[in-house]
Chain A
Amino acid sequence: MSKPKCWQDVPPATIAWGASALDVETGLWRSMRPVLDQNKCISCLKCWLQCPDSSIKTSEEGRVCGINMFFCKGCGVCAQVCPVNAISMHQEADFTNEKREHGEDPGRVAGHVK
């Protein structure tokens, strides 16, 4: 089913399009940011298994290749489970000047339901 244009299109009592939470930028919650050191990483995938927010990116060969800052809530589980300390936690305030892509604000009702 395609995304409804207005509320009249929304079927009652259902969310008719799956995986729509992918629009929600939960990364806005983050106060600590995990930083991955690719040189230290051994791709044991422990962080990928344990991440509550599925934010550890993996390459096609199944190697850890980054952290998705759009969704990462900064809980620090990845840094804690890493056996070689390849992930370190840093203050989010140190990255304020960084340009990045924004999603829908989870605090507001989505733009398509007016």
Chain B
Amino acid sequence: MAGIDLKELTKKQNPLTEGHRMCPGCGAPTAVRQALMAVEDPVVVVGATGCLEVSTTVYPYSAWRVPFMHVAFENAGAGISGVEAAHRVLSRKGVAREKIKFVAFGGDGGTYDIGLQSLSGALERGHDFTYICYNNQGYMNTGAQRSSATPISANATTSPAGSVIPGKLQRAKNLTEIVTAHDIPYVAQTTLHDPMDLIAKVKRAVETPGPAFVNVLVPCPLFWKIDSADQMKVCKLAAESRFWPVYEVTEGKHVLSYKPKNPVPLEDFLRVQGRYSHLFKKGRERMDLVAQGQADVDREWERLLKKCAG
């Protein structure tokens, strides 16, 4: 990737320190590290309630080298707008002289569900900030409940797969497109399949004046029931199977950042995860649900290609 020298980056201290209490193999701290790696200006971070917030700021410890503000579950968007607006006023009055970037982190619970209204408001008001959603597709902090980001047929504690239902019955909503509909300067969707992609996207998002949004799919080893070492492998499968298309939207123009040369079937992505194991139980296979999932993925992909072409 042009303009990013990894060797130079190793000399820079990361805003997120070691010693945080995220689970081994969690995708969220990897995403946060990579996201903030190439940001040159000083940052202020606002975090919605979620795994990231509770395990990086366990009293009396903080794993942040930068100012970090925790707000409630529903208002990371409002929190970051307030900080940004305050800085703008102080700059105008000549009190604050430094150029500061504002980054908010929220999980999918705090972004897709509970924090959607405050995020929408902040995007509409056009504050200069970047919102990064680390999307592990459920409420992991409280024990793997379903969220509106949980994909169809996934086994979550509030949509348990059993004799009554085969996991979650509803589809996940497409938040990236909901945010794109706000007509903001920069929206991107990515996962941990390629560190340089995330680093470059967040760098671009932060440097874009006005609101920017990055939706990062991160695996949760506990909920997805994968081996803690497999975070990158599973993310690669998510991108390769087109389950999680990697693209960006600059000024309303969709651009595909990664087009899998040999796309793998969705089944490969589902089989590696324990949360879909009920679909592949011997004698009680639900291949109809796998086929339905594949049809959804294909339809969404066609839709995205049309947007990229037009």
A contact set with B: CB distance below 8 Å? 10, 15, 17-26, 29-30, 45-46, 48-55, 58, 60-62, 68, 70-71, 73-77, 79-81, 89, 103, 106, 109-110, 112-113
Segment at the interface with A among B11-19, B139-147, B291-299: B11-19
Least CB distance from A68 to B in Å reads 7
A107 CB to nearest B CB, Å: 10
By secondary structure, the A interface counts as: loop
B130 within 8 A of A: no
Where the two chains meet, the residues of B that have a C-beta atom closer than 8 Å to any C-beta of A are 6-8, 10-11, 14, 16-30, 33-34, 56-68, 192, 195, 221, 227-233
Contacts of B233 in A (CB 8 A): 80
Rounded to whole angstroms, the CA-CA distance of A52 and B20 in the bound complex is 10
B21 CB contacts on chain A under 8 angstroms? 21, 24, 26, 106
Contact assessment for A50 and B19 in the assembled complex, using a CB-CB cutoff below 8 Å: no
| A48, B10: Cβ atoms closer than 8 Å | yes
Chain B residues contacting A46 (CB-CB under 8 Å) are 195
A20 CB to nearest chain B CB (Å):
5
List 14 A-B residue pairs with CB atoms under 8 Å apart, sorted by A's residue number. A15-B62, A19-B62, A20-B62, A21-B17, A21-B63, A30-B24, A49-B195, A50-B192, A51-B30, A53-B18, A60-B11, A62-B6, A73-B25, A110-B61
Closest A residue to B232 using CB positions: A81
- Distance of B5 from chain A, by nearest CB (Å): 9
Q: Can you name the residue of chain B whose Cβ is closest to the Cβ of A79?
A: B229
A-B contact count (CB 8 A): 128
Q: Is the CB of B18 within 8 A of A75?
A: no
- Among B25, B65, B195, B229, chain A packs the most CB atoms within 10 A around the CB of B229
A70–B28 CA distance with the chains assembled, in angstroms: 20
Given contact pairs A20-B61, A52-B24, A62-B7, a sample of 9 additional A-B residue pairs in the complex whose CB atoms are under 8 Å apart: A19-B63, A22-B19, A25-B19, A49-B34, A49-B195, A54-B17, A55-B18, A62-B6, A62-B10
B16 CB contacts on chain A under 8 angstroms: 54
Given B7, B22, B29, which contacts A61 in the complex, CB threshold below 8 Å? B7
* Assembly CA distance A19 to B60 (angstroms): 11
Q: Is the CB of A21 within 8 A of B19?
A: yes
Shortest Cβ distance from B5 into A: residue: A62
Q: Which residues of B contact A71 (CB under 8 A)?
A: 18-19
Considering the complex, give the chain A residue whose CB is closest to the CB of B62: A15
B26 A24 Cβ-Cβ under 8 A:
no
Q: Which of A48, A61, A73 contacts B24 (CB 8 A)?
A: A73
